[in-house]
Structure 1
Amino acid sequence: MSERPAAVVTGGSAGIGAAICRHLLDAGYDVVSLARGKPDYSHDNLSFREVDLADPDATREVAEELAKDYQVTSLVNNAGVIRPSLIEEVKLEDLDYLTNLHLGAAITLTQAFLPAMKDAGFGRIVNMSSRAVVGLPTRTSYAGTKAAIISMTRTWAMELGRHGITVNAIAPGPIVTDMFTDVMAEDSDQARALAASIPVQRLGNVDDIADATLFFLKPSSGFITGQTLFVCGGSSLGSISL
């Protein structure tokens, strides 16, 4: 096992996850990214494990391997997909998939790394939720599982605080990533209208979320736990639609 504490980031190959990994690397962390595809960036302190986190058995296997190889004291459960549909068209197999990816993987990884965190008397867990928890059309399965992340975060915070482990959630608003541009082009009239509906009058970028994540991971943030931070430009204050 490496003697240096490590941070594990799920979905670290692209979008928000890649930005979080880069910020952690700049801050001097050893970082392990878990994702289905390889990252398009490299660093001496970056490791990558290919895994489908919606597969419970594969997730359990990689979690056990990492727990043996690293002293993981920081975990960012970031990986996610949307699978949008109106309620009339919601498929329960999509709900199962998102439950495994958004909730099951976070539970499995947290369980694997808790012994190291407890031994160190220190741990930081950040779970990625979404502004969609306050309501967004076509997001039944996505918003449902992302809302469960908030409840799970609060529960873990109550259970783990005495061990020096904090657990917090971040709820991003509209952030320009591949997932966003799959829905609408960044330079489209629709995107401009969406930006205009946000109090700060712009769409978010991946560094907005990475900065918030690094704040929660700092040793000096130890008196903050069980919280959900909406990094959304104020879009959670009213109604927006995609």
Structure 2
Amino acid sequence: MSAQRPIAIVTGGAAGIGWEIGRRLAADGHLVVAADRVPGLTAGENPAGIVWRELDVTDHAVVDRVFGEIEAELGPIAVLVNNAGIQRHRGIEDLTWDEWAAVVDVNLHGVFSALQAAGRRMLERGDGVIVNISSISARGSAGRAPYATTKAAVIGLTATAGAEWAARGVRVNAVAPGYIDTGVFRQGVDAGTLSLDTILSRIPAQRLGQASEIADAVSFLASDRSRYMNGQTLYVDGGFMVDYGVPLAKRPE
């Protein structure tokens, strides 16, 4: 199969924020590869211009092989969105090693593997864009030590890759979402691990974000509109980080 449209890979792209990112990039004119462990919403091809490829980002060799197969079948990788991620909710003292390692394997090792596999190919051509998905939790998040740690590491990796590759035609930036109204978020509220009222009180915009708003930010970073940006992290959080941790009711008028 060949494609006239530029190829964009979205890891973890079969559902949730990854699916919305894929839909937006497809609307922008890309042929999107939703690289995920399960087909989710995107089994086979569909009118949205998204195809699914099985990918376990924790297997470094498999990531490189699948990216090579995608290029051989569809064409050069123009955009990579490193979106795959998982969480484990538990206090540090109760966290098991397996829980810690599982999050690190996906959220950090997986990001590095995909970034390196795509980056090497982009560097050969002197052109390409990588967008890593971090989080406001990189600042620290009680009960989510492995998630917060890996998302902070993604910011450091983004800055380093951006600095190393800028002169060679490859741009690397990140998006750090705030609290987004997804099924996973609502599950946390229902389970009692997240308090919607408390969260809203700490967001100056006084609302949750939408997955489409994260997709808009990724679309911007993937386009020539951001051509002078490299190594940066773009926070999409309703103002949470600029007024971090101060409940709205306690802010001065």
The answer to whether the superposition gives a TM-score over 0.5 is yes
Match of 1:224 in 2: 229
Question: What is the distance in 2 between the residues matched to 1:43 and 1:80?
Answer: 26
| Offset, 1:178 | 2.2
Identity %: 36
| Offset, 1:227 | 0.7
Q: Does 1:24 align with 2:28?
A: no
2:128 to 108, 119, 123: 123
| Offset, 1:148 | 0.4
| Offset, 1:83 | 0.9
- Provide the aligned C-alpha RMSD in A: 2.2
Q: Does 1:51 align with 2:41?
A: no
Q: Give the residue type in structure 2 aligned to 1:125.
A: I
Match of 1:143 in 2: 148
What SS does the corresponding residue of 1:204 show, helix, strand or coil? coil
| Offset, 1:64 | 3.1
Q: Does 1:203 align with 2:204?
A: no
Deviating more after overlay: 224-233 vs 114-123: 114-123
Q: What are the superposed Cα offsets for residues 6-36 of structure 1, whole Å, 9 maximum, x if unpaired?
A: 0000111111101000001111101101112
Question: What is the distance in 1 between the residues matched to 2:48 and 2:201?
Answer: 41
* Change beyond 3 A, Cα 1:29–1:240: farther
8 Å CA contact 1:160, 1:166 repeated in 2: yes
| Offset, 1:176 | 1.2
How many residue pairs match? The answer is 239
8 Å CA contact 2:57, 2:113 repeated in 1: no
1:238 to 239, 244, 248: 244
Q: How does 1:128-207 map to 2 (within 5 A)?
A: 128-185=133-190, 190-207=195-212
Q: Give the residue type in structure 1 aligned to 2:98.
A: E
* Change beyond 3 A, Cα 1:110–1:185: same
Q: Give the residue type in structure 1 aligned to 2:63.
A: T
Give ranges in structure 1 of 5+ residues lacking alignment: none
* Change beyond 3 A, Cα 1:3–1:163: farther
Q: TM-score, normalized by length of structure 1?
A: 0.90
What SS does the corresponding residue of 1:184 show, helix, strand or coil? helix
Match of 1:104 in 2: 109
8 Å CA contact 1:175, 1:205 repeated in 2: yes
Match of 1:74 in 2: 79
Question: What is the distance in 1 between the residues matched to 2:146 and 2:113?
Answer: 20
Give ranges in structure 2 of 5+ residues lacking alignment: 248-253
Question: What is the distance in 2 between the residues matched to 1:182 and 1:240?
Answer: 25
Match of 1:11 in 2: 12
Question: What is the distance in 1 between the residues matched to 2:99 and 2:67?
Answer: 24
Q: Does 1:36 align with 2:37?
A: yes
Match of 1:65 in 2: 69
Match of 2:250 in 1: none
Q: Give the residue type in structure 1 aligned to 2:70.
A: L
Deviating more after overlay: 225-234 vs 118-127: 118-127
| Offset, 1:116 | 3.7
What SS does the corresponding residue of 2:234 show, helix, strand or coil? strand
| Offset, 1:100 | 1.8
| Offset, 1:94 | 2.0
| Offset, 1:104 | 1.8
Question: What is the distance in 1 between the residues matched to 2:187 and 2:134?
Answer: 19
Q: Give the residue type in structure 1 aligned to 2:15.
A: A
Q: TM-score, normalized by length of structure 2?
A: 0.86
